[in-house]
Structure 1
Amino acid sequence: MGLTARVLLTVFVVGLGLIPPPAGAQEEAAMHELAGFTVDHLPEGIGDQVTDFHTEWGGVAFASRVWERELPDGGYSVDLKVNVLRGDRLADLAATRAFLAEYHERDPAEWDLRPFRHGDAAGHRTDGLAFWLVERGLVAEVRLDSARFPEPELTRTALGVHRVGPAERSG
């Protein structure tokens, strides 16, 4: 079984809770492609339960990877979520902002967003959330638990999300 198949199987089986994650599972999952992107930086102490999801909301397709940690009471809490969004509604940064305000149930007039740059891509950030328009119809979003991780960690994590070129794609 190749590395890609092992990583996919591990992420799937761990995500279902059938086995505990092996040491380094968070890092392996981060390096594995998520809808054309990888995550090159994870915060220290990030949860070790890693799950991928594919959903659609409002005509936009979401590919998501979530890192959770088990709480002492037996529940789970999300430490980090990386979303790759694709859809015609994401035509530009203003349309993306409007879509995400609706998705996150935020009042667009009161949503305190600050400019954010990811290389040449323009975006916005707020406490625990950064997003940027990669290209028309393609957006990357990072949500980090701001109660556990300091604000600079959001920047490091978001800047560690990179698009994979065709030559780098696993398969």
Structure 2
Amino acid sequence: MTICPIIRFPDQRLRQVAEPVTVFDHTLSALAQDILESMRAAPGIGMTAPHIGIARRVVVLELPDAAQPQTYVNPEILWMSEDKVRQEEGSVSMPGVTEQIERAARVRVAYHDLDGVRHEEEAEGLRAACHQHEIDQLNGLFWLQRLSSLRRNRLIARYEKMQRFRP
């Protein structure tokens, strides 16, 4: 287990599309554990391999209502509800700032576990928002891109100001 450095906004690696995982072995399990430990240290409730500089399609979620962390390998959204909800979102790559993001209220996601077994999961609420947020990241879409340019520019200015005054 290793706590890895987290890539920070505006690093362009956060805009890269992650590669699918094709080998399900101990290296993948170790990567998932590194993501989990790094996420906990950040702290956060969801994180991808690209957040620690590894362009692979791996997501770890540890939500407040879950019994244990969940790893999603090669996740993809199969279906999204037409009804929308707004959730407060942020990123371990841009700590200290959050904003309301509108997303589908419910999703169905297909993914593989660490052994390569395919699963499907339906989610709503926070879990649905996390799936959408982290899969966006795997697709090279940083969460700020979901904001209007005005809201995005204000948030970036606030973040940059925070970074200047950070000890």
Question: Does the pair score TM above 0.5?
Answer: no
Q: Which structure shows the bigger proportion of residues in helix conformation?
A: 2
The TM-score with structure 1 as length reference comes to: 0.28
- The structure richer in strand per residue is 1
TM-score, scaled to structure 2: 0.28
